């Protein structure tokens, strides 16, 4: 008896999940645009997005070396979080508010 109830429940779920026979026009239009297959590996672009320019990496290395020298010269110049969590939270909220205002164009 229990298995019949489970089977009936599964059939009801499957029946609800199938495409309706009297689907509205907007649904049929959208259904035509949906791909019903997986993409092939051949359709994946074979582009490589690497920066191989040695001048670029030399510039990056110079920036890192400058930052390292700055920290070594004054280790206390590096930002550290506040010890009081409420101070940290207030600073984070203020930064988020500034970011929100910039994105809203204020």
pLDDT bin (cut points 50, 70, 90) of residue 1 is low
Predicted confidence at residue 63, as pLDDT, reads 96
pTM for this prediction: 0.32
pLDDT greater at residue 48 or residue 69:
69
* Residues 77, 69: Cα–Cα separation, whole Å: 12
What are the structural domain ranges in the chain?
Answer: 2-33
Q: What is the pLDDT of residues 15-43, one digit of tens each?
A: 555 566 788 888 888 877 776 667 778 87
């Amino acid at each position: 008896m229990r298995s019949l109830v489970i089977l009936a429940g599964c059939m009801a779920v499957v029946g609800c999940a199938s495409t309706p026979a009297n689907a509205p026009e907007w649904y049929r239009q959208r259904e035509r645009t949906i791909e019903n297959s997986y993409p092939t590996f051949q359709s994946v672009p074979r582009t490589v997005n690497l920066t191989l320019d040695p001048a670029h990496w030399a510039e990056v290395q110079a920036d890192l070396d400058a930052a390292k020298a700055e920290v070594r010269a004054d280790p206390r110049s590096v930002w550290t979080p506040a010890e009081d969590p409420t101070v940290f939270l207030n600073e984070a909220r203020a930064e988020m508010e500034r970011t929100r205002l910039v994105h809203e164009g204020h």
